[in-house]
Amino acid sequence: MGAALIAATVTAAGAPIAAGQPLQTAGELKAKLERRLEGIAAGLDGVIGYAILDLTSGDRIGRLDRAVFPTASTIKLAIVYELFRQVDEGRVRLDQVLPLDRKSAVGGSGVLFYLGTPSLSVRDYATLMVIVSDNTATNVLIDLLGIDRIAARMSALGLTETKLRRHMMDLPAARRGEENVSTPAEIVRLLEIISKGEGLSASGRDEAVALLKKPKISRLRAGLPPAIDAADKPGELEGVRVDAGLVFAKNRPYIVCAMTTYLKSDADGERANEEVSRAVYEYFSRLGDGLQYGRQIGR
């Protein structure tokens, strides 16, 4: 789906909804979503922040959306963006083959830690980073792209709270306070930048989105019907669960990020993120399926 199609505003019948004319009834539907989301937050033994962007209208919903949270593996979105920027700049080639340096090998999620010294393309390292959140593959890409370059790029994009400050599984750095962090609003903005291809070539944009659409297990996807595509990246640490992605709801694509921390139970955080995803999808699917005043022909 190209940027122009993402930005299109259409109804199920194909007729455009008049811009700048919010309806009182649609406003009530949004208010009910906001109350539902607040109920999820109130029921969580921990802290949750979220940000939601309607790519059709530009409308936003947020709670603690500018508060700084640990990102866990969701910080890998910054690496995805930087990878395709450097590909466009000619610094990196996706078919470039790199032997695995065991100094980059770390445990946690992924499979490369358990292998010997395979030689993989940059594309394959990125694929492992996204599908199975491979921490070793991530560290290879951080070293290839440059942690300082990634940080500078985020700053140049205005994402001043989105900070990749350490390699994956670097516990001493984490204990020093060098955590990888962002805010729900900035993660949503980063996904918007990727989805619209800001700073990327058309092919770079399409490849970045295709990479993030690859199959993976996430709480965001668990809250969606199986037929709905998403370009997402989850993350998890002790007491932290993060889910963020671009969701291709029919006629009404949107971006959502839910970040939890101080969790008493990691399972509760996972359940909350899934509930947020489900609630947000049900709202946007109703907007996308309905005509301007909410009629859903053929339902």
Range of the domain at 273: 3-8+22-289
Asked whether residue 294 is domain-assigned, the answer is no
Looking at residue 22, its pLDDT comes to 62
Looking at residue 2, its pLDDT comes to 53
Mean pLDDT of the chain: 92
Contact 256, 184 (CB under 8 A): no
How confident is the model over 204-211, as a mean pLDDT?
98
Domain count, the chain: 1
Asked whether residue 13 is domain-assigned, the answer is no
Angle at 199 between CA 197 and CA 204, to 5 degrees: 55
Asked whether residue 139 is domain-assigned, the answer is yes
Nearest by Cα to 169 from 204, 211, 138? 138
Contact 173, 166 (CB under 8 A): yes
Asked whether residue 295 is domain-assigned, the answer is no
Separation of alpha carbons 119 and 116, rounded Å: 10
pLDDT in tens, 182-203: 999 999 999 999 999 999 999 9
pLDDT over 90 percentage in the chain: 82
Asked whether residue 285 is domain-assigned, the answer is yes
Asked whether residue 299 is domain-assigned, the answer is no
What's the gap between Cα 147 and its chain centre? 20
Contact 277, 219 (CB under 8 A): yes
Looking at residue 13, its pLDDT comes to 35
Asked whether residue 298 is domain-assigned, the answer is no
How confident is the model over 161-170, as a mean pLDDT?
95
Q: Please give the C-alpha separations between residue 297 and each of 14, 48, 283, 286, in angstroms, as whole numbers.
A: 12, 37, 17, 12
Task: Give the pLDDT band of residue 18 (cuts 50, 70, 90).
Answer: very low
Question: What CATH number is associated with residue 267?
Answer: 3.40.710.10
Asked whether residue 190 is domain-assigned, the answer is yes
How confident is the model over 176-187, as a mean pLDDT?
97
Q: Which is more confident, 116 or 8?
A: 116
